[in-house]
């Protein structure tokens, strides 16, 4: 039976029995000394830092501040004083999904999208033309990247050949989560067609999470590398490492039993890298998991990066709990506390000694805490996104976009240097806080005029 008290994450339940517990024999001071000396941290060190030690109940404020300070110093050594962000658009193609993740309120039951359904719903599927237009408009306004993540629509397949394979199953719906696209009011097109539609005007296309790649491969024995290569040929430039949640199967079994497991997630990421794509990595935390799960997740990401070197940034996603099944069913009583968010960012910076950039996500944290986290080890402040559905539908309230003027004001206010970046950080441009107006210049059609007017 898990003991809830010492170090158990706030908002997490005390009724789920996990094999992994958030306790360690490593002394806090030893772990901190290793972190300050730049030594590679073990999982035990990570647990000691993120819990502020097993010898204290809950989080010790003084110890926490010392962890944050060590992480802030490491950030300055690794990337200096620049705070980056990207001029990007979020374009979710469809919310139809049957996977049933208990932390997610983005999804809408796929059956409601069928032509003969009478159920009213707030979901959407964009046609290829609609996707193309929304991306083209954003590229005209100056974005350099489009991020696109979507529900696992049963009518979606990689291409026509994949449709044929899926149709040939005896019971496509139950065998491979497939229904013919003609059955839906708005057919979603194929993944390949979607990539072509969104890859317009030289924009960088960041899409196809490991879970989406699995969906684009279901019912076949192709490698992930093959699937990602075909997507890349159709315009895909990089892959988002979402769907990671917590990369420990005993946690996935509770919060997303319908999702691929840890090993499959890693295989998909390695396939994307083998196909030549840079990737991001994420962690969604602050629900049922404990601190050891968080550190085990970091360890899996660090090993993946040791093998690939392709992770451009690590993106901690603090669980937005308000309108989710986990909260509504009483499985959790809230999300991470401020202190847990701070320690998560700081320990990510210290533990991930092979990932240069740690993101502070304003859409999850808001501006005030987002800025604070830039002093706890983070150096990237996400992107303009222009539109947001995942967090909003879960009950988040920090809005859907940030302008370049907002970014420059906020980053200058904390004494750091605002920098526009590309997805892969290969292109970075310092912004002049006195320029007026200040807009993006890295996108294929960007000319310094603001994105939003």
Ligand X SMILES: Nc1c(NC[C@H](O)[C@H](O)[C@H](O)CO)[nH]c(=O)[nH]c1=O
Ligand Y SMILES: N[C@@H](Cc1ccc(O)cc1)C(=O)O
Ligand Z SMILES: C[S@@+](CC[C@H](N)C(=O)[O-])C[C@H]1O[C@@H](n2cnc3c(N)ncnc32)[C@H](O)[C@@H]1O
Query: Cα(43)–Cα(447) distance, rounded to whole angstroms?
Result: 46
Give me the count of residues in the chain: 453
Least Å distance, CB 363 to ligand X, is 4
Phi, psi (deg, nearest 5) at residue 394: -85, -5
Give the binding range for ligand X (CB under 6 A) out of 57-65, 70-78, 84-92, 220-228.
84-92
Structure tokens at 11: 């908002």
Query: Interface with ligand SF4 includes 147 (CB under 6 A)?
Result: no
Q: Which DSSP symbol is given to 437?
A: S
Torsion region of 254: left, alpha or beta (phi above 0 gives left; psi -120 to 50 gives alpha):
alpha
Residue 106 site contact among ligand SF4, ligand Y, ligand X, none (CB < 5 to 8 Å, cut-off depends on kind): ligand SF4
Least Å distance, CB 282 to ligand Y, is 5
Query: Interface with ligand X includes 147 (CB under 6 A)?
Result: yes
| Angle at 396 (CA atoms; ends 391, 401), nearest 5 degrees | 70
> Residue 358: which H helix or E strand, with range?
strand 357-358
Query: Interface with ligand SF4 includes 99 (CB under 6 A)?
Result: yes
CA nearest to 66, candidates 121, 23, 29: 29
45 or 313, CB closer to ligand X? 313
Q: Report the DSSP beta bridge partners of residue 239.
A: 279
Residue 94 site contact among ligand X, ligand Z, ligand Y, none (CB < 5 to 8 Å, cut-off depends on kind): none
Residue 212 site contact among ligand X, ligand SF4, ligand Z, none (CB < 5 to 8 Å, cut-off depends on kind): ligand Z
52 or 84, CB closer to ligand X? 84
Residues 331-370: x where in contact with ligand X by CB under 6 A, - otherwise, as a string: ----------------------------x-x-xx------
Size of the site for ligand SF4 (CB under 6 A): 11
Residue bearing tokens 């139950």: 174
How far lies 431's CA from each of 205, 382, 388, 419, 439, in Å?
Answer: 24, 16, 25, 6, 9
Least Å distance, CB 245 to ligand Z, is 6
260 or 382, CB closer to ligand SF4? 260
Least Å distance, CB 14 to ligand Y, is 27
Phi, psi (deg, nearest 5) at residue 194: -65, -40
Q: Report the DSSP beta bridge partners of residue 241.
A: none
Query: Interface with ligand SF4 includes 287 (CB under 6 A)?
Result: no
Query: Cα(136)–Cα(445) distance, rounded to whole angstroms?
Result: 10
Interface with ligand SF4 (CB under 6 A): 97, 99-101, 104, 106-107, 151-152, 211, 256
Interface with ligand X (CB under 6 A): 86, 88, 90, 145, 147, 206, 280, 313, 315, 317, 359, 361, 363-364, 382-383, 385, 423
């Amino acid at each position: 039976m898990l003991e809830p008290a010492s170090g158990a994450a706030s908002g997490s339940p005390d009724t789920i029995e996990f094999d992994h517990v958030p306790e360690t024999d490593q002394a806090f001071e030893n772990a901190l000394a290793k972190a300050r000396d730049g030594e590679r941290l073990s999982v035990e060190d990570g647990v000691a830092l993120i819990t502020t030690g097993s010898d204290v109940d809950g989080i010790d404020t003084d110890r926490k501040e010392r962890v944050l300070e060590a992480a802030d110093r490491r950030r300055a050594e690794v990337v200096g004083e620049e705070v980056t962000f990207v001029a990007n658009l979020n374009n979710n193609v469809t919310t139809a999904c049957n996977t049933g993740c208990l932390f997610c309120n983005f999804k809408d039951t796929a059956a409601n999208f069928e032509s003969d359904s009478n159920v009213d719903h707030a979901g959407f599927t964009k046609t290829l033309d609609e996707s193309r237009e929304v991306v083209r408009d954003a590229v005209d306004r100056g974005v350099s990247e489009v991020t696109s993540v979507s529900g696992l629509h049963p009518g979606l397949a990689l291409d026509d050949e994949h449709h044929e394979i899926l149709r040939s199953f005896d019971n496509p719906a139950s065998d491979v989560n497939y229904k013919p696209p003609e059955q839906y009011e708005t057919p979603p097109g194929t993944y390949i067609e979607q990539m072509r539609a969104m890859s317009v005007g030289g924009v960088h296309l960041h899409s196809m999470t490991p879970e989406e790649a699995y969906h684009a491969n279901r019912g076949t024995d192709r490698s992930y590398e093959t699937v990602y290569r075909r997507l890349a040929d159709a315009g895909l430039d990089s892959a988002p490492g979402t769907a990671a949640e917590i990369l420990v199967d005993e946690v996935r079994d509770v919060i997303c039993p319908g999702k691929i497991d840890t090993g499959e997630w890693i295989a998909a990421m390695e396939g994307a890298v083998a196909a030549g794509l840079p990737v991001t990595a994420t962690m969604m935390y602050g629900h049922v998991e404990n601190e050891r799960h968080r550190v085990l997740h970091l360890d899996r990401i660090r090993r993946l990066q040791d093998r690939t070197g392709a992770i451009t940034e690590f993106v901690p996603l603090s669980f937005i709990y308000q309108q989710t099944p986990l909260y509504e069913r009483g499985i959790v009583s809230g999300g991470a506390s401020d202190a847990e968010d701070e320690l998560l960012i700081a320990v990510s910076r210290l533990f991930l000694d092979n990932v240069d950039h740690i993101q502070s996500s304003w859409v999850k944290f808001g501006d005030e805490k987002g800025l604070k986290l830039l002093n706890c080890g983070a150096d990237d402040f996400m992107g303009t996104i222009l539109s947001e559905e995942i967090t909003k539908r879960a009950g988040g309230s920090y809005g859907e976009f940030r302008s370049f003027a907002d970014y420059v004001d906020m980053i200058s206010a904390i004494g750091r240097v605002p920098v526009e970046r590309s997805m892969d950080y290969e292109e970075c441009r310092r912004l002049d806080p006195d320029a007026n107006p200040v807009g993006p210049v890295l996108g294929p059609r960007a000319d310094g005029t603001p994105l939003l007017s």
